[in-house]
Structure 1
Amino acid sequence: MTQRGASKTHTRYLRLSHSDLHAIQRAFLAGDDLRRVVPWLPAKDKCTIAVETLDAMEVLRQSHRRLRDPDADFGPATDFKCVTIAERLLGAQRNLHETQTPRVRTLLEEAARSPTASPALEYEPLYRDLAEDALLRGDTIALEWLRRALAHNLSYHDGDDLAFELIDLASAYLQLDDLDLGLMILTKILRLQPENIWIHRFMATGLGPLGLRRLAREAAQRGLELIEVTGDPEDLADTFLLAQVTLHAAASQD
């Protein structure tokens, strides 16, 4: 490996901070004890992170033309390498659905389908980006990506974002015109977490365009009622009030 310093190129899916990554890389390159840096990570994970990220940076020295070549051999196709190459090709666009380079989507999907999880990556944002791209194309594969995000959260984060993952899944079903299943998921979330204000926010702002204005109005009202009781730490009062005004205006035009 010819790299002499810590990398300065990152991915939006990086699991750890840039300073932590640099500390791990510097310790690895210097032959220092990895247990002395970034103590919240196991030493084995830190070794994997150093190897994968430094290897990926070597590959990124290649030209864009070679990176676009699906037959180019860059060694082991680690998840980190796949996403960093994809983001280099994506460039300033940043949004997956804007790219004209099919290899970008292929690389991200390859990382997302990997049977192993790299300790360097946060996978749930990757799954959500792929789901959003699929939804914009009307592709039901979006549901698979969101189910993967849900399973990953349950497996690696003890379901700490369970409600948000389920809201995303419900939203996808609604966007794909499966109103029954989308509403069923929302109903189950409400039964589990009736005071989760983000569920009411989604329903207040997302159901109106689908023609479900009564449910949207009820959600907006419930959101404001919750704020009266608990306060507004998330600063959502204006969102609910605007939803009410928008829904009232839409109803008056019917």
Structure 2
Amino acid sequence: MGIDKELELSLFHQREEQRRHMEYQKEFGFYRMIVSGNLKEIKRLYSSELLETASKNMENGVLSKDPVRNERYHFVVLTALITRLCVENGLDREKAYTLSDLYINKMDVCMDIAGILDIQREMVIEYTKQMAHLRKEDVYSIQVMKAIDYVYAHLNEKISVEQIADALRLNRSYLSELFHRETGKTISSFIRVAKLTAASNMLKYSDYEYSDIAEYFAFASQSHFTKCFKEETGYTPKQYRTRFYQPGEWNLTE
């Protein structure tokens, strides 16, 4: 049986047994915390039992039958993905890839899973710190920062300006004007771009169906998602995945 068929069969059995690689909310909520510089939540995640499953490869499956080697592989994949996402969200490329090399080299000398997970925590927190520093350089008001945080925390829901204003206990018109003045964007356009940026990452780095991605980010339909995505990127979701899909740059052989 070919690798592709074996993979499809394995994925089928995983779905049947409800053993998904990772729930959408957990996976992309985790990455969203990093790229938005949400250091408080990342530290809370790592200091609680919420990360117990994630610490064991975040339900990523088995890349090697050897437990330590398996953890090494997942560390490299996780670091590569975080590096790419941070670069795409404004982190200096040279700084991002220097950090990647640094932490992969630190991980490489670890001889047990506990040590690798400690380095993973250190790596994730450092990238989050870098993104937090980057966000502070934008010098937005506390109201606008809270509005941005609200958007990132609710990307998988239908979000309206009214909802954000109510959550922040602000007048809708005041918030809209303030947001546009400080960011140069309307709140609605910011929401749309944030959703489509996250969706583009799912297209590049996952095998989720287009309909699942559309549903996850609360688009009215797959056709609506396709229309919005093409308007923003110039590609349909299928064209984008065909052109930019990155299954992994690392040789994960045993």
Structure 1-normalised TM-score? 0.28
- Structure showing greater Rg: 1
Structure with the largest fraction of helix = 2
Q: TM-score normalized by structure 2?
A: 0.28
**RCO comparison, higher one (Cα < 8 Å, 6+):** 2
